[in-house]
Amino acid sequence: MRIEAHALEHFYGHEKVLNGVDLVIEPGSFTAIIGESGSGKTTLLSILSTLLQPSRGSVRYDGKTFGELGNIDRFRRHNIGFVFQFHYLISYLTLRENVALAALDQTLVDPLLEALGIARLEGRYSDEVSGGERQRAAIARALINRPSVVFADEPTGNLDTKNALGVYELFKRFSIEGTGFVVASHDKKIADYADIIIEMEDGVVKQIHQR
């Protein structure tokens, strides 16, 4: 799915956090939005992922504006996956049940758990596995419906370096297979894995690097 943002501005009260952002996210790309806290990267990610409407400007998804997408919940379920810093797994469900709950096609659950290396943990609960394993389950939940693009906000914020790099490697692998990723992060190590790096500072895009 091609995402085009034009002249995005956003305010929280009187505070302007985005100031005229223009960019294009190409289908299947691994795009990293990097910047320090307060740079506007999370707000930009929220707008691109349909979770937040901009104060000004527009976003198009394969040429359609937000208002032309129809049922937004249906659009998200079929086209978008989400991964957050905190995994938000349901504690009283097993890892497999968490993933299966989101699945439109239950036959995809087991192969995906296997692909992400957590099939052996499918019967465990989130408090019985490591932080890296919980985040892999969250990634499985985001990928289960084969979305066009996965949006991730600081997905490695609570992980050590080894597990953080493991998450980036997973994103790269699935990106090569055709799923797009847009990841907001302050971790500059992500630049070693992303195809496109968008540098944010004070609500504007300072630079865009393409590998």
In a domain, 176, yes or no: yes
In a domain, 183, yes or no: yes
**Torsion, CA 67, CA 2, CA 107, CA 134, rounded to 10:** -90
In angstroms, the CA 47 to CA 33 distance is 13
> 79, 72, 118: which is closest to 98 by C-alpha?
118
At 86, list the tokens: 């905190």
List, for residues 29-55, the tens digit of each pLDDT value.
999 999 998 999 999 999 999 999 999
Which pLDDT belongs to residue 159? 84
Which pLDDT belongs to residue 185? 94
What is the span of the domain harbouring residue 94? 29-37+72-210
Which pLDDT belongs to residue 84? 85
Query: Following DSSP, what letter does each residue of 4-18 receive, concatenated?
Result: EEEEEEEEETTEEEE
State the CB neighbour count (10 A cutoff) for residue 127: 8
Q: Collect the ranges in the chain with pLDDT lower than 50.
A: none
In a domain, 98, yes or no: yes
In angstroms, the CA 198 to CA 191 distance is 10
At 123, list the tokens: 């019967």
Quote the pTM value: 0.93
Which pLDDT belongs to residue 87? 75
- What values do phi and psi take at 63, rounded to 5? 90, -10
In a domain, 9, yes or no: no
In angstroms, the CA 100 to CA 144 distance is 8
List, for residues 55-82, the tens digit of each pLDDT value.
999 999 999 999 899 999 999 999 999 9
In a domain, 3, yes or no: no
In a domain, 133, yes or no: yes
In a domain, 12, yes or no: no
In the chain the first and final C-alpha atoms are separated, in Å, by: 20
> 22, 23, 20, 8: which is closest to 55 by C-alpha?
8
Domain count, the chain: 1
156: left (phi over 0), alpha (psi -120 to 50) or beta: alpha
Which pLDDT belongs to residue 157? 84
In a domain, 1, yes or no: no
- The CATH number of the domain where 124 resides is what? 3.40.50.300
